[in-house]
Amino acid sequence: MFVYADNAATTRMNKAAMEAMGPYLDGFYGNPSSQHAAGRDAAKALAQARAKMAKNLGCEPREILFTSGGSEADNLAVFSAAALGEKSGKKHIVSTAFEHPAILRSLDRLRAKGFSVTLLPVPENGVISGQQVEEAIRPDTCLVSVMYANHEIGTIQPISEIGRICREKGVLFHTDAVQAAGHLPICVKDQQIGMLSLSAHKFHGPKGVGALYVQKGIQLEPMITGGGQERGLRAGTENVPGVVSMAAAFDFACAHREENMKKMTSLRDKTIDGLKNIPYSILNGDPVCRLPGNVNVCFEGVEAEALLFLLDQAGICASSGSACMAGSLEPSHVLLAIGRTPDQARSALRLSFGEENTEEQVDFIIETTAKAVSSLRGVKSSVPRL
């Protein structure tokens, strides 16, 4: 049996995304900046895609900027907020210890440039509180960046509350919503979000395309200079097929969100119940306040790499955490942040479901994992430490 349960790393493109892309790979190949019929067709497609994204995010089309993905959107948000802050002498940033590396490595760069960064510690359940954010904000804070849902443990952050706090304090609020977009409700106006990052390949769109919502009035600091595309804020000929396809995928995901979430929540809970019966297992992250498709469990005394190898041999694609960190021997910074020991962190299995997964696959995953865990413990004859 082949089971793909690594949808937090990337997803399969769906039919809506593929069908939308087709014509722009073939017949409609114009450059949106060109002043002729082919160019106008491409420009029109781009405008329609922008309007679609805006409708589903609750903002205006001109507040959407297309990027090469989530990482670029995150970088653009962080460096733009820093540039704005610097102009008014504000060089403090609040974020969290379990952000995606696209945020954390950007903050490292700013630290080296003299910014001070407060990374909020993460409670054991993986949910930051509004109060933590409120207490960390200083008069010189130029940015609060807190992810909507965590990429490894799936926990959902109180984005609306953080938005309200930032609005009251007059601080710019960015959220990395790459894991949330298409899966959790988003309305940037209601949630008082200043900037929001998303990436198409996490909601069944193509890889290499994403978007940053930027509330009007916020001045971006372009990272790629050149032509005047994206109102001069992001140079380079637009990825028309990618953008059109992303908009179709996002539209589809938002339209089917509630039914899909119900289905995935039930797969998630069934998996958690099954894996809980394996001795010395620990669920990472809040059992309820988490993404519908996310399961993350430590099996004490087991090396995740060996477990993943056995699962892979059985046809199951899973992960030990973030794909960007795969292959590194460093324990996950997310699991360390919620208080797991390095050994525990190296024993984590992340399963992330999509709409295509089935109950039969979940049964197979539970059975295969239980066998693999006990055989690995037997081989190593290691007694899990409690």
How far is the CA of 31 from the CAs of 48, 49, 224, in angstroms?
Answer: 15, 15, 18
Residue among 155 and 368 whose Cβ is closer to ligand PLP: 155
Nearer to ligand PLP by Cβ, of 141 and 150: the residue is: 150
CA distance 22 to 158: 38
Question: Least separation, in Å, of the C-beta of 73 and ligand PLP?
Answer: 8
Query: Which CB atom, from 41 or from 72, has the smaller least distance to ligand PLP?
Result: 72
Considering the complex, what minimum distance in angstroms separates the CB of residue 260 from ligand PLP? 18
DSSP string, 117-145: EEEE---TTS---HHHHHHH--TTEEEEE
CA 49, chain centre distance (Å): 21
- Residues in contact with ligand PLP by CB under 6 A are 69-71, 74, 100, 102, 147, 151, 176, 178-179, 199, 201-202, 210
Active site residue 187: no
**What minimum distance in Å lies between the beta carbon of 67 and ligand PLP?**
8
Q: Are 205 and 13 in contact (CB under 8 A)?
A: yes
Measured at CB, which residue is nearest to ligand PLP?
Answer: 70
Q: Which is nearer to ligand PLP, 294 or 368 (CB)?
A: 294
Least distance to ligand PLP, CB of residue 334, Å = 10
Residue with tokens 């420009």: 43
Please, what is the minimum distance in Å from the beta carbon of residue 202 to ligand PLP? 6
The phi and psi torsions of 21 (rounded to 5 degrees) equal: -75, -40
271 contacts 366 by C-beta, under 8 angstroms: yes
Cβ of residue 195: shortest distance to ligand PLP, in angstroms? 13
The 3-state secondary structure of 48-98 reads: HHHHHHHHHHCCCHHHEEEECCHHHHHHHHHHHHHHHHHHCCCCEEEEECC
Nearer to ligand PLP, 82 or 178 (CB): 178
Nearer Cβ to ligand PLP (202/234): 202
* Amino acid making up residue 62: R
**Who contacts 143 (Cβ-Cβ below 8 Å, separation ≥6)?**
78, 81, 82, 85, 93, 94, 95, 171, 172, 173, 174
> Which residue of the set 142, 166, 187, 324 is catalytic?
324
Q: Which amino acid is at 207?
A: K
Structural tokens at position 386: 């409690």
Q: How far apart are CA 210 and CA 198, in angstroms?
A: 6
Name the residues annotated as catalytic. 324
